[in-house]
């Protein structure tokens, strides 16, 4: 009986690649002109002129995004059959190795705008991107049965898993602020402990720390509030500062009202880049006036304005 049984084993080095990348580009050009031609028959003169009807604009956008995955490992396979493992066999294979996955995107935008009937053009160039890297080990175990030289085979997966060892970059990529200030928005600085004798400070409110983000692995978009240490604030008044996540006001004793502008800047994550900061600008006001005093102050300002207007 043993003489009619056969078995075989194989050990192979395997490399697999999984590429899922999207490329795209858009180009736009617009121009509108009016041409005029004239002729004076009696004088024997003629001429022409042209005039822009709309702004001349050229715009170009390029983007690439997706996933690149590579697996490299060893595949061991064992099979048993009757008479010959080529005719019919039953067995299993195990694949073990390392993997690396790269997720990310890159966007480039260029615009050249020449306002109508001028010779000066305005160029705008923007670019941003992010990369997330996942490295680890993987194991795949499959059962396999086949007949007639693999003409018919059944190979279900019994076990398949990955074991991440290290990552680089941030999976949740921040790309903008949720808060979009308008001309009427103001950030009022109220002393957290209501005791100005030990200094005036206020924690940066959550509304200014909530960011839009995208998962570089799944592509899902979400919003989340981040810790104050992820931001930088620059004021156009040296009496305002930002330290340890708190807005600090150094108000002179004889001053009860201060105002300025604050530029709130997101600190870029690792393996992200952008030509411009992710930032918003917000008007800031500090005062120790009561509500009635504030109403009186702004009512007086409006009255003066109306008198000037007549």
Per-residue pLDDT for 186 more than 80?
A: yes
My answer on whether 116 and 203 are in the same domain is no
Residue 184 located in a structural domain: yes
My answer on whether 189 and 61 are in the same domain is no
Per-residue pLDDT for 16 more than 50?
A: yes
pLDDT tens for each residue of 190-209:
888 877 777 888 999 999 99
Residue-by-residue DSSP string for 96-164 = EEEEEEEEEEEEEEEEEEE-TT-S--EEEEEEEEEEEEEEEEEEEEEEEEEETTTTEEE--EEEEEEEE
Residue 213 located in a structural domain: yes
Range of the domain at 249: 174-305
My answer on whether 221 and 155 are in the same domain is no
pLDDT tens for each residue of 35-87:
888 888 777 788 888 888 899 999 999 999 999 999 999 999 888 876 666 66
Residue 194 has a pLDDT of 77
**Half-sphere exposure (Cβ direction) of 53: Cα atoms closer than 13 Å:** 7
My answer on whether 130 and 221 are in the same domain is no
Residues 270-289: what's their mean pLDDT?
86
My answer on whether 103 and 223 are in the same domain is no
pLDDT tens for each residue of 238-279:
999 999 889 999 988 888 889 999 999 999 887 888 888 899
My answer on whether 132 and 259 are in the same domain is no
Residue 45 located in a structural domain: no
Mean pLDDT, the chain, rounded, equals 85
My answer on whether 10 and 68 are in the same domain is yes
Alpha carbon distance 281, 202 (integer Å): 18
Per-residue pLDDT for 304 more than 70?
A: no
Residue 281 has a pLDDT of 93
Residue 96 located in a structural domain: yes
- Of 61-65, 129-133, 231-235, 305-309, the range with the lowest mean pLDDT is 305-309
């Amino acid at each position: 009986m043993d003489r009619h049984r056969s078995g075989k084993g194989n050990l192979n080095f395997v490399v697999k690649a999984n590429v899922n990348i999207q490329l795209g580009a858009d180009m736009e050009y617009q121009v509108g002109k009016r041409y005029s031609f004239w002729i004076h028959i009696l004088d024997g003169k003629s001429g022409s002129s042209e005039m822009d009807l709309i702004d001349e604009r050229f715009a170009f956008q390029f983007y690439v995004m997706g996933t690149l995955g590579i697996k490299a490992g060893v595949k061991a396979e064992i099979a048993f059959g009757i008479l010959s493992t080529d005719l019919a066999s039953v067995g299993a294979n195990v694949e073990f190795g390392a993997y690396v996955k790269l997720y990310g995107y890159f966007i480039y935008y260029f615009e050249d705008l020449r306002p109508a009937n001028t010779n000066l053009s305005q160029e705008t160039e923007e670019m941003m991107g992010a990369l997330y890297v996942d490295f680890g080990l993987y194991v795949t175990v499959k059962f396999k049965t086949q007949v007639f030289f693999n003409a018919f085979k059944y190979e279900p997966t019994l076990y398949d898993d990955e074991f991440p060892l290290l990552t680089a970059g941030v999976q949740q990529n921040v790309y903008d602020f949720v808060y979009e200030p308008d001309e009427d928005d103001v950030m009022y600085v109220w002393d957290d402990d209501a005791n100005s004798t030990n200094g005036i400070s206020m924690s940066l409110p959550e509304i200014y720390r909530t960011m839009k983000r995208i998962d570089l692995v799944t592509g899902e978009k979400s919003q989340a509030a981040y810790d104050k240490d992820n931001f930088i604030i620059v004021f156009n008044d040296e009496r305002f500062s930002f330290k340890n996540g708190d807005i600090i006001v150094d108000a002179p004793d004889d001053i009860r009202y201060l105002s300025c502008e604050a530029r709130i800047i997101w600190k870029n994550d690792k393996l992200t880049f952008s030509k411009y900061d992710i930032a918003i600008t917000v008007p800031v006001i500090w005062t120790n006036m009561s509500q009635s005093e504030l109403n009186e102050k702004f009512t007086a300002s409006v009255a003066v304005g109306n008198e000037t207007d007549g």
